[in-house]
């Protein structure tokens, strides 16, 4: 299907947001540090608490990453909202090709890692009598995982390739975006901002399905950010001022309320505003390498848990002690291995699969178009 001319007034002049892409790589690596504690979880059922201070290498200089690396997931959601607004608001044919593009981008690697983790978990369970970290390894959760519906509220807990829970919630944010897209073109801020506020307000009030609410809230916060930059023509100075204000709000939320959720909310958008300021200031695309580096983030995110199970199986079978994971060299090895897997995955799995699905869809579509 040929690309149509973009709808006027709905796309920023900046074609690529290289600093944002680079920040996605950093965010994916932050999740690796949070999940590094998995190496120290013995074969137990639930509720095992890892002493990160005693066991984790380089804990003190990297404390924030080991203790709060998981908040990078919220940043991913906000960046996704911004990028979707940039890609789809001005695309007159977006609703027709939206789901094929999402399927081709997300599902092949998700399916591959889902099946691989199922095999690895069966191996680990056969040896130890219990699963590794994520214990819902049953048919129900596998079937829910296939269409990325495994964290919509029907689950007992995280299952199989556990980090994919955030992709599952994001599918519902995509659905809301797709449904609201025609209205978002007319009111990108006045619609996205209330949706974000309602979802996050419901979360802070303790409504059920908190992961779904936070995902929708952060995602539409990203959409609203794009609308603000687009409509108000915000530049680097204004965005840096907004980032500084958000940082102040983050400190206030932590000091006054000791609320990690409120701090995360303010901090997430502080980072988003700051990265946008860098991108808008980078008129000559000096940071264009960020585009290629950011491509690895999805693979890093989905491959790091299967790699952990593989490494644990090897360590348990050979060394019979996971003390090696307390060595800085092993931390560097794991982060480097996951990062290399992300780049390799994008080049040799994700992109080829994406192109193959698009080609197949084109072949199916062509006879139908000719018949019509």
Q: pLDDT (tens digit, 9 = 90+) per residue, 35-62?
A: 999 999 999 988 789 999 999 999 999 9
Burial 71-80 (b: 16+ CB within 10 A, else e): bbbbbbbbbb
Find the range with the poorest average confidence among 5-19, 123-137, 309-323, 326-340.
Answer: 5-19
User: What is the four-CA torsion angle of 204, 208, 212, 218, rounded to 10 degrees?
Assistant: -10
Residue 1 lies in a domain: no
Rounded CA gap, 302 and 178, in Å? 25
Residue 120 lies in a domain: yes
Residue 7 lies in a domain: no
Rounded CA gap, 168 and 159, in Å? 12
Rounded CA gap, 305 and 158, in Å? 13
Average pLDDT for 149-169 = 95
Domain, as residue range, for 39? 18-371
Confidence at 372, pLDDT banded by 50, 70, 90: low
Q: pLDDT (tens digit, 9 = 90+) per residue, 270-292?
A: 999 999 999 999 999 899 999 88
Residue 4 lies in a domain: no
Residue 116 lies in a domain: yes
Residue 1 pLDDT greater than 60, yes or no: no
Residue 84 lies in a domain: yes
Provide the domain count of the chain.
1
CA nearest 264: which of 200, 356, 316? Answer: 200
> Is 110 within 8 Å of 250 (Cβ atoms)?
no
Residue 12 lies in a domain: no
CA nearest 68: which of 268, 248, 363? Answer: 268
Residue appearing with tokens 């603000």: 228
Rounded CA gap, 225 and 126, in Å? 49
Residue 6 lies in a domain: no
């Amino acid at each position: 299907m040929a690309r149509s001319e973009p709808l006027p007034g709905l796309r920023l002049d900046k074609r690529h947001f290289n600093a944002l892409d680079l920040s996605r790589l950093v965010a994916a690596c932050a999740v690796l540090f949070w999940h590094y504690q998995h190496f120290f979880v013995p074969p137990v059922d639930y509720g095992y608490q890892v002493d990160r201070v005693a066991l984790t290498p380089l804990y003190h200089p990297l404390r924030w990453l080991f203790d709060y690396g998981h908040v990078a997931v919220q940043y991913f959601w906000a960046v996704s909202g911004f990028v979707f607004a940039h890609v789809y608001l001005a695309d007159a044919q977006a609703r027709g090709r939206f789901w094929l593009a999402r399927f081709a981008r997300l599902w092949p690697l998700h399916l591959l890692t889902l099946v691989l983790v199922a095999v690895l978990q069966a191996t680990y369970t056969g040896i130890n009598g219990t699963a590794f970290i994520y214990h819902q390894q049953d048919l129900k959760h596998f079937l829910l995982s296939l269409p990325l519906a495994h964290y919509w509220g029907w689950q007992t807990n995280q299952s199989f390739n556990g980090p994919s829970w955030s992709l599952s919630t994001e599918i519902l944010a995509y659905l809301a975006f797709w449904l609201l897209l025609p209205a978002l073109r007319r009111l990108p801020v006045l619609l996205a901002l209330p949706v974000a506020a309602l979802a996050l307000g419901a979360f802070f009030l303790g409504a059920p399905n908190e992961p779904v609410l936070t995902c929708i809230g952060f995602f539409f916060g990203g959409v609203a950010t794009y609308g603000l930059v687009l409509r108000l023509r915000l530049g680097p100075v204004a965005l840096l001022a907004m980032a500084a204000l958000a940082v102040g709000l983050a400190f206030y939320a932590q000091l006054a309320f000791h609320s990690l959720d409120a701090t995360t909310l303010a901090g997430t958008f502080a980072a988003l505003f700051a990265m946008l300021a860098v991108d808008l200031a980078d008129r000559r695309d000096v940071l264009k390498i960020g585009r290629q580096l950011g491509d690895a983030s999805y693979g890093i995110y989905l491959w790091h848990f299967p790699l952990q199970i593989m490494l644990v199986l090897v360590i348990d079978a050979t060394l019979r002690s996971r003390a090696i994971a307390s060595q800085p060299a092993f931390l560097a090895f794991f982060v480097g291995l996951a990062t290399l897997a992300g780049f390799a995955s994008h080049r040799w799995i994700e992109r080829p699969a994406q192109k193959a699905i698009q080609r197949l869809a084109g072949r199916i579509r062509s006879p139908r178009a000719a018949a019509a």
